[in-house]
A and B are shown apart, each in its own frame.
Chain A
Amino acid sequence: MATIHNAKRRARRVDGWRWAGRIFLLFMLLYTAVPMIWMLITSFKSGFAAMAFPPEWWPKEPTLASYQKLLDPQNSVGQDFLHFFWNSLFVSTVTTILSVIVAVPAAYAFSRFSFPGRNFLFFSVLLRNMFPAVIFLVPLFILMRLLGLINTPGSLILTYMTFGLPLAIWLLKGFYDNIPIQLEQAARIDGATRFQAFVTIVMPLSVPGIIATAIYSFIGAWNEYIYAYTFLNRNDQLTLPIGIQRFFSENTTDFPGLMAASFMMSVPVVVLFLVLQRYFVRALTEGAVKH
């Protein structure tokens, strides 16, 4: 008797939590989605309609004019926008590839080898995560000048690599820590060198981790603002965040255009993330949580 009564009471209490959970999720959904929906709606309005007060909840005359302007290669605005898009794509992709190439061996070494200074080096790499971008703007600018990289994508690629490396190495190291060493030992017994074992056995197994690293690196590079602002002057070198800001800073504050550009800027990374998110979560699970 008592157990049935308890079960009922428990069921009611569980229901309470579940409802709380649902209401909470609803709230979070609104909190997350409403700004993005409003961004979309604004982007379909004309300049004046956007300034109406009280605002039009749904544009009386929705227009794709802002998007057309941004994507039209004949239009000077469109030309610039597409150029920025390409620049961002280039910088982000190269940064990602290079970061992976550099992070993978380093993470492997930190995981498998024991050499003097290993711990110190590992933690000093991680420490980089601590330093705010802003502090180093001018010295890095001077440095880039010395290296002859000002106004080239190279300055950004080099800088972005240092943002992504610490987390990449840490994630991948966690991954490698979880891969049983017996697999490589078996390969070594069969005559493979340490390097061959690494490439043929270990790397394929760490693909989720590499993908996670790549995603993180790409998104970080795509969205970065302040270094791009400082290192790039020439209009044809600008990446998306800066290019967009330059459009709309000095003169007309064309909010529909700005919203359209923000939307367009977000689409690639959101799509990329949605498609690959399960690798990212898996990598975090295996790499970050379990050691």
Chain B
Amino acid sequence: MTSLKLGAAVLRGAVVSAFLASALSTTALAAPPVDLSKWSPEYVRSIAGTEDFDTAAECGKVTPLDYKGDLTFWYQGVFEGDPDLLRQYYKDFFETFRKTYPNINLKEQALTYNDLLDKFRTALTANAGPMVVRLQILGGVEFASKGYLQELKPEDVGWSTEDFWPGAMKSVTWEGKTYGVPTNNETMALIWNADIFKRAGLDPDKPPATWDDVVAYSKQIHDKLGIAGYGLVARVNAGNTPYRFMPQLWGYGGGVFDEADPNPTYSEIRLNSAASKRALQASYDMYVRDKSVPVSALTNQQADNQPLFVSGQLGMMISHPSDYNVMKDLQKKATGDDVAKAQTVIDNMRYGLIPTGPDGRRAVVFGGSNMHILKPEYVDGGKVDLPAAKAIICFWTSPEWSLKMAYAGSNPGNLNGFKTKWMKERLDNIKFLDVTTSMLPYGVPFPALPQTPEIMNHIIPDMLQNALTGAMTVDQAAEDAAKKVKEVAGGGGL
């Protein structure tokens, strides 16, 4: 807990200035319910628990509570590796929804992050989609541009556009029209094991400040202790990879296009710029030169880093604060000696802001999910029950539930969520929450283009793999990736 106090002061200064910068970039809006220009851990604490919301009443205004209807809904579910706490909230959500709207016949389907995109696309080819889908932020624009989604904005479900993060609203906008409502927004941070740092001769309470430091620390940990330093992941077609590489890329001043700039136009490709190449070089240095990251990084996802971390075989990694809860759950399942080992790790878990690039630029992926409604002709059954759809969207994006469903690892999409009493609870219960809320202003949204899933899920990991396996030099890998982006952006390419 002391580490939090130490960091708080530093955070405040850093965060407020970052937020002012990002706030200036957004188009002028009517006043949001919370003052984004004051965003800091103290401010977040001050507004928590200041307002009460009655979800049933609010949503009752959109769709009457006795409405009779049918609804099919797909969403990214919680599985084996999510904290029990979160799984409980998901259960509660569906129970409460059913109690509030007893006459809506809801058929929901949970899918994993990677499966969801696959299956959603497949289903759409045969017009067999669900009526409502909660899709990762990466995917929305693709389907909006293809014309699968109905127009939808927060006003349609009883909220207002200002209730949501500007960056999040950008991710559901295509050609000037809005096609969805954000449910949650997440920004990751850096986790490290203070005990490992100490044993490797590093200051246990100071995280690496820059990405170059990450490389250096990783090497030191590996050289001194023989274990992996940084949890690099480079798996193809897995969401984890871009979420962890893009902060590095943007930190060094690079990017795919100009998406990290205040007002991106996506017209200039920057993947082969000197800055981007430097970012790729950092990964190369860790994997090939220093061998300080797991060799299996090429096929690893974040889930593969968790057991390593909790058994004390990994020094640091980028992730959500929910990982703390996951570690605790993993420890509960441990036996014998491992229980003590895990407890040591948990006691020594620290959270800090994502490192900056050499110029002090700090960036993180502005992640999250949005809910969309499909057009009737693409739905299995040919009809969309609009009031029922709005009911569930209103419910999930309400202050209460957008907070609860993002309890452990994320942040409510609906800014009013920060004012609820559950937020107060959360601040007391979830360790490291300050860090992740502090990272929100540094969030850079993915390019709002239909090609983005391919770029993020294929081209970027391919580039990493080409460079890390030595199949191409760092230079060549970056050039090759830039070429592919150009082809894809132009609508062609193999």
**Which A residues are closer than 8 A to B by beta carbons?**
46-49, 51-53, 60-61, 63, 65, 77, 138, 141-142, 144-145, 150, 230, 233-235, 246-254
- B8 on interface, CB distance cutoff 8 Å: no
Q: Does B90 contact A (CB under 8 A)?
A: no
Contacts of B111 in A (CB 8 A): 233
The answer to whether residues A51 and B113 also contact, given A141-B125, A145-B127, A254-B80 and a CB cut-off of 8 A, is: no
Give min CB distance, A149 to chain B, whole Å.
Answer: 11
The CA-CA distance from A247 to B79 in the complex, in Å, is: 7
Collect the chain A residues with CB atoms within 8 Å of residue B123's CB. 233
Task: Kindly list 7 other residue pairs between chains A and B, CB separation below 8 angstroms, not including A46-B335, A250-B303, A252-B330.
Answer: A47-B330, A47-B334, A51-B308, A53-B313, A249-B114, A252-B81, A254-B80
Contact B113 A250 (CB under 8 A): yes
B406 at the interface (CB under 8 A from A): no
- Nearest residue, chain A, Cβ from B120: A233
Give the nearest-CB partner of B126 in chain A.
Answer: A145
Shortest CB-to-CB span from A250 to chain B, Å, is 4
- Write out the residue numbers on chain A whose beta carbons fall within 8 Å of the beta carbon of B122: 138, 141, 230
Q: How far is the CA of A119 from the CA of B75 in the complex (A)?
A: 51
Nearest B residue to A231, CB-CB: B122
Measured between alpha carbons, how far is A205 from B151 in the docked complex, in Å? 67
Nearest residue (CB) in A for B113 is: A250
Q: Which of B291-328 contact A (CB under 8 A)?
A: 301, 303-304, 306-308, 310-311, 313, 326
Least CB distance, B34 to chain A, in whole angstroms: 32
Q: How far is the CB of A252 from chain B (nearest CB, A)?
A: 4
| CB–CB B128/A51 < 8 A | no
Q: Are A250 and B125 in contact (CB under 8 A)?
A: no
Minimal beta-carbon separation of A121 from chain B (angstroms): 31
Instruction: Confirm or deny: B341 has a beta carbon within 8 angstroms of a beta carbon on chain A.
Output: yes
27 contacts between A and B (CB under 8 A): A46-B333, A46-B338, A47-B333, A47-B334, A48-B307, A51-B311, A51-B313, A52-B311, A61-B335, A61-B336, A141-B122, A141-B125, A142-B125, A144-B126, A145-B127, A145-B128, A230-B122, A233-B109, A233-B111, A235-B109, A246-B112, A247-B79, A250-B79, A250-B303, A251-B82, A252-B306, A253-B304
Going nearest first, the 10 A-B pairs with the smallest beta carbon separation are A251-B81, A250-B112, A145-B126, A252-B81, A48-B338, A251-B303, A142-B126, A251-B80, A46-B335, A61-B336
Which chain A residues border B21 with CB–CB below 8 Å? none
Once the chains bind, are B126 and A252 in contact (CB under 8 Å)? Answer: no
Answer whether residue B342 sits at the interface, using C-beta atoms and an 8 A cutoff: yes
Q: Chain A's nearest CB lies how many Å from the CB of B444? A: 24
Looking at A49, A63, A249, A250, which has the most chain B CB atoms within 10 Å of its CB? Answer: A250
Residue of A nearest to B110 (CB): A235
With beta carbons under 8 angstroms apart, the residue of A48, A60, A141 that contacts B126 is A141
Are B303 and A47 in contact (CB-based, < 8 A)? no
With A141-B126, A233-B123, A234-B109 in contact, do A63 and B304 touch (Cβ < 8 Å)?
A: no
Within 8 Å CB of B66, what residues of A?
none
Q: Nearest chain-A residue to B78 (Cβ)?
A: A251
Tell me if B428 counts as interface (CB < 8 A to partner A).
Answer: no
Do B303 and A253 touch across chains, with their CB atoms under 8 A apart?
yes
Q: Min CB distance, B267 to chain A, in Å?
A: 33
Beyond A250-B113, A250-B303, whether A48 also contacts B342 by CB under 8 A is yes
Report the separation of the CA atoms of residues A65 and B332 in the bound assembly, to the nearest whole angstrom.
13
Cα of A60 to Cα of B342 in the assembled complex, Å:
17
- A48 neighbours in B (Cβ, 8 Å): 307, 310-311, 334-335, 338, 341-342
Residue of A nearest to B334 (CB): A48
Bound CA–CA A120/B210 (angstroms): 70
A48 to chain B, nearest CB (A): 4
A150 pairs with B128, CB closer than 8 A: yes
B115 sits at the interface (CB 8 A): yes
A246 to B122, CA, bound (A): 17
B119 within 8 A of A: yes
CA distance A51 to B313 in the complex (A): 9
Shortest CB–CB separation between residue B111 and chain A, in angstroms?
A: 7
Please, which residue of chain A has its CB at the minimum distance from the CB of B336? A61
By beta carbon, the residue of chain B nearest A77 is B80
Q: How far is the CB of A259 from chain B (nearest CB, A)?
A: 15
Chain B, range 349-375, C-beta contacts under 8 Å to A = none
> Chain A residues near B326 (CB, 8 Å)?
252
Contact present for A250 and B81 (CB under 8 Å): yes
Within 8 Å CB of A138, what residues of B?
122, 125
Q: Note all chain B residues with C-beta closer than 8 A to A247.
A: 79-80
The CA of A124 and the CA of B333, in the complex, are separated in Å by 55
**Which residues of chain A have C-beta atoms less than 8 A from B334's C-beta?**
46-48
**Which residues in A have their C-beta under 8 angstroms from that of B307?**
47-48, 51, 252-253
Q: Does the CB pair A249–B336 fall under 8 Å?
A: no
- How many Å lie between the Cα of A48 and that of B341 in the bound state? 10
Residues of B within 8 A of A63 (CB): 335
Q: For A249, give the chain B residue with the smallest CB separation.
A: B112
- Residues of chain B contacted by A51 (CB below 8 angstroms): 307-308, 311, 313
CA distance A53 to B227 in the complex (A): 10
Q: In the bound complex, what is the Cα–Cα distance between A145 and B341 (angstroms)? A: 52
* Residue among A47, A61, A142 having the largest count of chain B Cβ atoms under 10 Å: A47
